[in-house]
Amino acid sequence: MKDKAVDSKAFEVPKEWMVDEKWDRGGIKQDMSCMMGGKVNKLTDDEIGILEASTKVAQVLDDSLDLQ
């Protein structure tokens, strides 16, 4: 998971997902945090494509609004 407080313009599309498990958090905000201990579910190619398209729209909107 990317911390938007560290870099509000950083985007990354996940390839897997997991819910309701334990977080292994990094020591500081710049460190990566991961959810662990549960079933890792893979996203389909269609789902990844939708997320990639949504991410591109979000980047364009961020740039046009000049959000920090």
Where do the structural domains in the chain lie, given as residue ranges?
Answer: 16-63
- What pLDDT score was predicted for residue 35? 85
| Maximum distance among all Cα pairs of the chain, rounded to whole angstroms | 40
- What pLDDT score was predicted for residue 3? 65
How far apart (Å, rounded) are the C-alpha atoms in residues 37 and 22? 7
Both tokens of 33, joined, read: 């945090």
Do 21 and 35 meet the contact criterion of CB atoms below 8 Å apart?
Answer: yes
Both tokens of 42, joined, read: 């893979």
Reported pTM: 0.65
- What pLDDT score was predicted for residue 58? 84
Residues (pLDDT < 50) of the chain are none
